[in-house]
Chains A and B, each alone.
Chain A
Amino acid sequence: MSDLSVKELEVARLIVDSLNLEDVTAEEIEPDAPLFRDGLGLDSIDALELSLGIKQKYGIQLRAEDENVNQIFTSLSTLTKHIQKNS
């Protein structure tokens, strides 16, 4: 069980929900673990699905031109910070 803030838990639920993850629950996602490849093992199509989920829920559009898109998607914690800052 990891220690997630309320907002992080909300975003973690969005990740699990929009990607239909079956072998991990929102509570189990480590805030600072990498989301892609080694960490949660998400791939580029997952990143796209997740960005669509974020757009739907928070109205925030993530575009590839945003230079920091890689940085935003680093971990649950960086993603949550980006959402908090922009919503």
Chain B
Amino acid sequence: MSSDWASQKERGTPFALRLILWIAQHLGRGFARLFLHPITLYFLLMAKPQRRASRQYLQRILGRQITLFDIARHIHCFASTILDRVFLLADRSSEFDIKRYKPEEVYRLVDQGQGCLLLGAHLGSFEVLRAPAINERRMPLKILMYPNHNEQISKIFMGLNPEVAQSILPLGEMDTMLRVADAVAEGKAVAMLGDRAIGSEKSVDCCFLGKSAQFPAGPMLLASVLKVPVILFVGLYMGGNRYELYFEKLADKVVIGRKQRDADLQKWVQHYADRLEYYARKAPDNWFNFYDFWNRGG
């Protein structure tokens, strides 16, 4: 049974997606949000593996019996952030109350012309980062991601903001990391997500919410090769129109010794996992890995 996220098909037809996009753009966020309830119900009934994953995760983080209502709230949070991507990408961040915590961690580096890695996760919204970065031009940003993942959805979203599309560095090419090195040398911040170990990627065993899980080794390895600071970023959705965007420095420099390579690597990735757990506990419904995170199939 394959539970790899990348191999999961997107649910919902392109038509439904276009419809909700049209509604969002023409009738506004408030009206579009009314549709989140039937959408949540649909996923709650139809998406069995995701439902199971949600229950397992919520049980682990909340430490109690999970009701269908808990799962519904979890799905509703996910659907909310997807809908909000429309407005954030279309540069309508004025619709939102986005509180920023320690953005100066990044601004300071940018002003010094020092490149860095921004390490995020499938926790909350990635899109709130794009507001200061692209719309306000406060942060020269490149985004490292797999191409064609969620193809239908990315095509539509990228159409909303061509500048965002241009900022993407496709993962999976042999010269991908050379491109990252170039971007960092130009003083850019390169953002990536560090929580999903995909396919044959090198991964590290870490403790997350009290149980061991595989995290990709790539981001920390990359940071050690490039000798640049690593800053964690998380954009938590707090309900209503409120987001909280956190920046936290994980390392000025990731040092991985040749002799104790594995131990050093584990220590750094575990540090990331620990901080991720801290932010997940702030807003548990923001965890958007709807698969068995602790037992990856394949």
Binding site for B on A (CB under 8 A): 20, 36, 43-45, 47-49, 51-52, 62-65, 69-70, 73
Contacts and interface: CB of A to CB of B under 8 A. Distances in A.
A47 B177 CA distance: 7
A47 B181 CA distance: 11
Contact of A45 (B173, B179, B221, B258): B221
B174 A70 contact: yes
A44 B201 CA distance: 11
B222 interface: yes
B261 A20 contact: yes
Contacts of A52: 225
B176 interface: yes
Given A45-B222, A48-B225, A65 B174 contact: no
Nearest to B180: A48
Interface in B150-176: 171-176
A70 B177 contact: no
How extensive is the interface on chain B, given as a class?
A: 20 to 34
Contacts of B174: 36, 44, 47, 69-70, 73
Contacts of B176: 44
Interface string B215-237: 00010011001100000000000
B178 interface: yes
Contacts of A65: 182
A44 B182 contact: no
Majority DSSP secondary structure for residues of B touching A: helix
A65 B181 CA distance: 12
Contacts of B202: 43
7 contacts: A43-B201, A45-B221, A48-B178, A48-B180, A51-B181, A52-B225, A64-B175
Contacts of B178: 44, 47-48, 51, 62-64, 69
A60 B176 CA distance: 19
B147 to A, nearest CB: 14
A62 B185 CA distance: 13
Contacts of A62: 178
B225 A70 contact: no
Contact of A20 (B172, B180, B226, B258): B258
Which among A36, A43, A49, A70 has the greatest number of chain B C-beta atoms within 10 A?
A43
B218 A45 contact: yes
Most buried by B among A43, A64, A73: A64
Contacts of B175: 44, 47, 64, 69-70, 73
Given A45-B222, A48-B226, 6 more contacts: A20-B261, A44-B172, A44-B175, A47-B177, A52-B225, A70-B175
Contacts of A47: 174-175, 177-178
B182 A64 contact: yes
Nearest to A62: B178
B261 A45 contact: no
B264 to A, nearest CB: 13
